[in-house]
Amino acid sequence: MPEAFTIKINGLDKLTTALKNSPIIAGKQIGKAIALSVALVNRNAKLEAPAKTGILRAGIHSRINPLNGKVESTVNYGIFVHEGTSPHIIRYKKSGRGGLYNSKTKQGFGRLVHHPGTKANPFMKRGAERSELGVQGLFTKAIDNIVKQISV
């Protein structure tokens, strides 16, 4: 998706100090919080995605790097569902006779259709927003664990 969603972490100043003092302990705890957070956002994005065929939900994947994570839709039409489309023209591309036809409804539309566009369904954004409190909790716990381990 083109739009990135950021969740602000409370206690980041404590974390920065802890990272400088003990990077191995802090790295483990933060890595764990990132992995759990990405899994949470991934799950909630899948719950928010429309499920007409299930392909869009199945196409939501996540990646985790040392200090960041990413949840994205890999389905080629995911961006159009998320952002919507403006009105556009659909043309029949094959040469010869024929036109646009819906095989399910047995309805023909001719060689040209003026599509009204589709309304945006920002399922990824809703998934991120739905996850925000949980992510905050995971990072708060990680920061507390770092501070506790360093202060011992």
pTM: 0.77
In 6-99, DSSP assigns E strands to: 60-65, 68-73, 88-91
Instruction: Please tell me the predicted confidence (pLDDT) of residue 98.
Output: 64
* pLDDT in the model for residue 24: 85
* β partners of residue 68: 65
Specify the pLDDT at position 152. Answer: 59
Q: How far apart are CA 66 and CA 72, in angstroms?
A: 18
Query: Per-residue pLDDT tens for 22-41?
Result: 888 888 999 999 999 999 99
**What pLDDT band is residue 3 in, cutting at 50, 70 and 90?**
low
Region 114-143: mean pLDDT is: 94
pLDDT (0 to 100) of residue 74: 94
Cβ contacts of 144 within 8 Å, gap of 6 or more: none
Q: What is the mean pLDDT of the chain?
A: 86
Residue with tokens 């009204």: 116
